Amino acid sequence: MDKFIIRVPASSANIGPGFDVLGIGLDLFLTLEVAVDSSLSTTDSANCLLSYEGDGSENVPLESGKNLITKTALFVLRCNGVAEFPKVTQVHVINPIPLGRGLGSSGAAVVAGVLLANAVGKLGFSKQRCLDYCLMIERHPDNITAAMMGGFVGSYLRELTPRETALVHQPLSDMLAPHGTTDKAPLNIGTHVKYNWNPAIKCIAIIPQFEVATSDSRRVLPAEYSKQDVIFNLQRLAVLTTAVGAAQPDPQLIYNSMQDKLHQPYRKSLIPGLTEILSGFTPQTHEGLLGICLSGAGPTILCLATENFDQIAEAIIERFKQEKVECVWKLLQPAQNGATVEHL
Nearer to ligand LJ64HWYM, 120 or 131 (CB): 131
As measured in angstroms, the least distance from the Cβ of 213 to ligand ADP is 4
Residues 66-85, one symbol each (x = binds ligand ADP by CB under 6 A, - = not), give -xxx----------------
Binders of ligand ADP: how many residues, by CB under 6 A? Answer: 22
Q: Phi/psi of residue 259, each to 5°?
A: -75, 150
Q: Give the closest residue to 176 by CA, choosing from 84, 74, 265, 89.
A: 74
Q: Which partner in ligand ADP, ligand LJ64HWYM, none is near 201 (CB below 5 to 8 A by kind)?
A: none
Q: Is 25 in the site for ligand LJ64HWYM (CB under 6 A)?
A: no
CA distance 47 to 41: 8
Considering only residues 202-231, where is the footprint of ligand LJ64HWYM by CB under 6 A?
214, 217-218
Among 9, 17, 98, 102, which residue interacts with ligand LJ64HWYM (rule: CB under 6 A)?
A: 102
End-to-end CA distance of the chain: 10
CA distance 239 to 287: 22
Strands (DSSP E) contained in the chain are 2-13, 22-36, 48-54, 89-95, 152-157, 190-195, 202-208, 289-294, 301-305, 327-332, 340-343
CB 283 within 8 A of CB 252: yes
Residues 271-300, one symbol each (x = binds ligand ADP by CB under 6 A, - = not), give -------------------------xx---
Q: Are strands 301-305 and 202-208 parallel, antiparallel or unpaired?
A: antiparallel
CA distance 201 to 268: 27
Nearer to ligand LJ64HWYM, 78 or 263 (CB): 263
Residues 261-290, one symbol each (x = binds ligand LJ64HWYM by CB under 6 A, - = not), give --x---------------------------
Bridge partners (DSSP) of residue 316 are none
Q: Give the closest residue to 105 by CA, choosing from 132, 67, 136, 76.
A: 67
Strands (DSSP E) contained in 201-275 are 202-208
Q: Is 19 in the site for ligand LJ64HWYM (CB under 6 A)?
A: yes
List of residues contacting ligand ADP (CB under 6 A): 30, 56, 60, 67-69, 93, 95, 99-107, 109, 213-214, 296-297
List of residues contacting ligand LJ64HWYM (CB under 6 A): 13-14, 19-20, 102-104, 106-107, 140, 142-143, 214, 217-218, 263, 296-297
